[in-house]
Amino acid sequence: MGKQQLDSHTILYGVFGDPIRHSKSPVMLNRAFEETGLNAAYAAFHILPGQLKDAIKGIRALQFRGVNVTIPHKLEVMEYLDEIDEGARIIGAVNTIVNDNGRLIGYNTDGIGYVRSLKEETGIELHGKKVLMLGAGGAARGVGYALAKEGAAHIYIANRTREKAEELAQSMSGFTGVTGMGLDEIADVAGDVALIVNNTSLGMHPNVDSVPMDTTLVREHMVVSDLVYNPMITKFLRESEARGATIHSGLGMFIYQGAYAFEYWTGVPAPTAAMREAVLQSFNS
C-alpha cells in the first residue's frame, strides 16, 4: 500500500505523554491507517505536567478524533472528560479518548488488550483458573480487572509492600476471589496457578538481569506472561520457558491496547499483524 498523503480531509490522532519520544504508538497506528486505507495521521505530543488540561481543550478545539494517554497522565485526564467507560472507571485510569462529535469519552484498553493477546498467543482458557500477579501498581489493576471479567477463579497479588497488594485485592474483591500477599509468600500458592503475570518493571531494559520471582517455582503446565516488552524476551520468560512453561511477552498487550483504540476510533477491525510488524521493524532499525 502506498504511503498516506496528508490533505485537507485528514483526520488527526495522537498520544500524550511525558516522556514520549520513545513511543512506538505513532509507528504502529500510522501503519494501521495505511493498511486500512483511512485518511488519518497519528503523532506524539510531549505534554508536560500542568499542561494536560489545555491539551485536552486543544483536542476539542482542533477536533482530533482520538488520543491515547500514557504516563503520567492516565489518572488526571479523567477530570477533563465528558464520560468515562465503566471499565476505565473501575480501573481508575484512562488510556484512550474518543471524540464523539465533541463529547470526549475515556476508555482503558490496557487490560482488555492484555487478555486478547494472551488468549490469542497462548490459547489459555482462563475461566475457573487461578492466577498469580506480581506487582500491585497501575498496570496490575487493569490486568486484574480484565482477568476477573474472563472468569478467573482466584487472583493472588504478590507485592514487595504487602499492604499495597492487600489494598488492590480489597478494591477488586467485588469481581472474583482475590488475596494480597508479600513476595515471600509466593511459594505457598505458585503450585496451584495456571498463569503468572509480571506487572512490575523488573527485567526491563537496562536492568535485563533481574527477575520478579524465583523461577524454580514455575511448572510446565503454566503460562508465564510479562508486561515488559523491551527486551522482548525477558530473563524471567527465558528461565520459565526453559522449565517448560508457555511464555507470553508484553509486546502483545502493547499491540492490542492500540488495536482496541483503533477500533473504538474507526469502527474498523484493527490490522494487528501489520501493526505488530511495524513495531518489530522499528525495534530492529
The domain containing residue 78 runs over which residues? Answer: 11-108+254-284
In this predicted structure, the answer to whether residue 205 has a pLDDT above a threshold of 90 is no
Residue 123 annotated as binding site: no
In this predicted structure, the answer to whether residue 78 has a pLDDT above a threshold of 50 is yes
Grid cell 491515547 in the structure block, residue:
68
Clarify whether residues 103 and 116 are in a common domain.
no
Omega cis (within 30) before 231: yes
Q: Which of 100, 154, 45, 80 is nearest to 266 (CA)?
A: 100
Clarify whether residues 265 and 220 are in a common domain.
no
Q: What is the pLDDT of residue 20?
A: 92
Tens digits of per-residue pLDDT, 6-46?
999 999 999 999 999 989 999 999 999 999 999 999 999 99
Clarify whether residues 42 and 133 are in a common domain.
no
Residue 137 annotated as binding site: yes
Query: How far apart, in whole angstroms, are the C-alpha atoms of residue 148 and residue 127?
Result: 9
Q: What is the pLDDT of residue 230?
A: 87
Tens digits of per-residue pLDDT, 231-278?
999 999 999 999 999 999 999 999 999 999 999 999 999 999 999 999
Clarify whether residues 74 and 193 are in a common domain.
no
Q: Which residues pair with 247 in a beta bridge?
A: 224
Domain membership flag for residue 245: yes
Domain membership flag for residue 152: yes
Tens digits of per-residue pLDDT, 124-172?
999 999 999 999 988 899 999 999 999 999 999 999 999 999 999 999 9
Residue type, 235: K
Question: Is 74 an annotated catalytic residue?
Answer: yes
From the DSSP assignment, how many helices (H) and strands (E) are in the chain? Answer: 10, 12
Clarify whether residues 278 and 229 are in a common domain.
no
Average the pLDDT over 101-123 and give the result.
Answer: 96
Query: How far apart, in whole angstroms, are the C-alpha atoms of residue 135 and residue 59?
Result: 34
Let me know: does 73 contact 19? Beta carbons within 8 Å: no
Q: Which of 60, 91, 65, 66 is nearest to 78 (CA)?
A: 91
Clarify whether residues 68 and 35 are in a common domain.
yes
Grid cell 472468569 in the structure block, residue:
151
Domain membership flag for residue 86: yes
Clarify whether residues 140 and 100 are in a common domain.
no
Confidence band of 50 (pLDDT split at 50, 70, 90): very high
- Give how many domains the chain has, as a whole number: 2
In this predicted structure, the answer to whether residue 281 has a pLDDT above a threshold of 90 is yes
In this predicted structure, the answer to whether residue 1 has a pLDDT above a threshold of 60 is no
Domain membership flag for residue 128: yes
Clarify whether residues 159 and 61 are in a common domain.
no
Query: How far apart, in whole angstroms, are the C-alpha atoms of residue 226 and residue 140?
Result: 11
Residue 10 annotated as binding site: no
Q: Could you say which of 3, 57, 74, 235 is catalytic? A: 74
Residue 86 annotated as binding site: yes
Report the CATH number at residue 131: 3.40.50.720
Clarify whether residues 213 and 119 are in a common domain.
yes
Q: What is the pLDDT of residue 3?
A: 64
Q: What is the pLDDT of residue 2?
A: 53
Report the CATH number at residue 62: 3.40.50.10860
- Looking at every residue in the chain, the average pLDDT score rounds to 95
Cα of first residue to Cα of last residue in the chain, in angstroms, is: 21
The pair phi, psi for residue 278, each rounded to 5°, is -60, -40
Confidence band of 111 (pLDDT split at 50, 70, 90): very high
Clarify whether residues 41 and 152 are in a common domain.
no
Domain membership flag for residue 5: no
Domain membership flag for residue 276: yes
Domain membership flag for residue 3: no
Let me know: does 283 contact 266? Beta carbons within 8 Å: no
Tens digits of per-residue pLDDT, 80-100?
999 999 999 999 999 999 999
Domain membership flag for residue 154: yes
